[in-house]
Structure 1
Amino acid sequence: MANVSLNAVRKNYDETLHKDTLRNINLDIKEGEFIVFVGPSGCGKSTLLRMIAGLEDITSGELKIGDSYMNDVPPVERNVGMVFQSYALYPHMDLRENMSFGLKLKKMDAATIKKRVDNASDILGLDPLLERKPKELSGGQRQRVAIGRCIVQQPNVFLFDEPLSNLDAALRVKMRIEIAKLHKELQSTIIYVTHDQVEAMTLADKIVVLSPLDEGADSNLEQFGSPLDLYHNPDNKFVAGFIGSPKMNFVDATLVEINAKDCVVELITGERVTAAVDANRAKVGDAVQLGIRPEHLVESEHEHAQSKVTGIVQVTEHLGSESFVYMDVKGCDFTFKARPEFPAEAGDQLTVGIPTNACYLFDENELAFQRTAKYNRGA
């Protein structure tokens, strides 16, 4: 195990274009942490992982693994193990040979190789399959072999590059559980890349949220913190909209009243909403955006419906355990997570309740105002 630190790391594929892929990335990843890089396509998350692995050069800045400076160290000497999106197994070798091949290249003795392969196989539940070829395995089994090939190397840091994206939905859930159990057993430092924020929330000790780099931006690292911290206290609208499923609702509004621990905004619908947010750095009349998560909305008669918003129902999804009502609120997409079989049909006008303590608020630069309370739906 080892800690990983990145200081002012930058990546530019062509300096003549003056267009960075990554800029001013500062991270301190502690030994044994499970860190997830998450963000939309094109934000540089896989590039950042490959820079840690040594598969991409660092344009500027400093990378350390443990106490060692790594910028110019070749990949084979970094003692990191990488699991790719594609399984990259040798089709003519059985599973034991696939997992042991890298160790044979290092000229390890046969007894050590067998011990490591047997240990990895036991951890991953591959013992009955060791004599099979990759073509005889399911996708989840092949991915476990790819992880096993990484485990036998006993790296200081495990690097996973979207390892579950080729699997179907049910198998992704199963493999997420397997990877979480693996981390608890190995207690290793893991850095994991995904575009799936549900994967990030369920696996990570801490999440690194990256965005595509805007011209003039200081960095495309939006926020680094625990899953619940990012969920409850996003730094900006980008993080608020990316973390959480379904995504947060946003409605254009104007500040009409600022108090010590809350404020009042007028929505584009004309309705007024009280938000438990400290808006004292703004002034009355400023344009803002109100944020509210679908799971925090309530029916209009609910005791926590301190404020309300009205829209037109577009589609209702009944999923058995819950319903999702998709609305149009004056041109803004709006989702309400409702009880099972909630009665709402396309074209209906629907009013839903907004709890004061569940609101988020963002200024014209999309930076979050500090919340003064957290919402407990069961309270």
Structure 2
Amino acid sequence: GPHSSPMRSSRPCLGGGRPLLGLEAARSAAARNGGECLSTEYRDSRAPLRWRCAQGHEWQSSLNNVRNRGTWCVQCMWEARRLGIQTAMEIATAHGGLCISDHYRNSSTRLQWLCAEGHKWEATLSSIKDKGSWCPTCVAEGSRLTIEIARDAAQARGGLCLSSQYESSRARLHWRCAKGHEWHASLHSIRNHQSWCPHCAGNARLSIDIARRVAKARGGSCLSTHYLNARGHLRWRCAEGHEWSASMTGVKSSGTWCPFCSGRKRETVIRGILEAIFAGHAFPTSRPDFLRTGPRSRLELDGYCAPLRLAFEYNGEQHYREGHYFHTRGDGSFSAQVKRDRRKLALCAVAGIRLLVVPYAVKDVWGFVRLGLLQWFPVSTVFGVSLAA
């Protein structure tokens, strides 16, 4: 017709007529995403093509979706979102709270959080994870406890608070008693636990000999030869040969001992909980094929039940804190630990395995395990009762 152009169909348009140009555009789009286009034929920009991502997942989608709408591997997207929620839950637990959102899109997603005091608020995962923020209501309430209150508490005991700044009730402040002894302790411990000068209380008499006696009583030994103070780290060895560093206060007063043996005990507790909930099913330590990372290497699960496609991991402090003694004993760096944890989560997700991660900071293990299981199992299974009953 008079309004049509004979040249229109010969334009290098991806919508049709130029299959080689279309395939080249598809391959370029895939390469930008770190993957490849597997198709060898091209019809138009809305026809489905075969794609493969860097993780080996394959799917079908149009060039228009990939090139113009920015979509890519759906499986990777869901795995990233699942890892985001898992990370949020672990960080919230370390703060003594919960992440109560059930979906995560990206770092800009505002999630719902619940602190130990029951306050709810919204914040991005990055603000909690990278900036170290937490409950704004608790921060506002905590700000009422000022350095003046700390000074009043010290004066009531005949001493002084030498600190000039106050961050939180659990931040360590500098104190001096009436006899001139100086030490660091939180305002929380001074006000709520009625503690005061550890030197006057007799803690200054703790020596390397006492450290050795304490270790011997636990079937181990203290390897250090010098003692600085109750907060200075000493080197210890348990009866199993594990070595670690901890303060005398932590070992003698808090009653802690070998963290490696303790981790195994916590694994046993979690295993017992799961085997009680899922009667007749076992959760042995396992290195399954789907966690293969090389010809002769596989990652380990603390507990895995193949029939239920359910596994658990107990994550000790070394999974969350850089500079932990665990990373000084030949087990790799903190970043390597984080990469192993993320890879384990990803491999389990690809294999369709439900992985329950229990962080060391969890106090109510039964409650945490049940809450985690409710993601995948009905209430009647997790609690042994039906809500309809």
TM value normalised by structure 1: 0.21
Structure with more strand by fraction: 1
TM value normalised by structure 2: 0.20
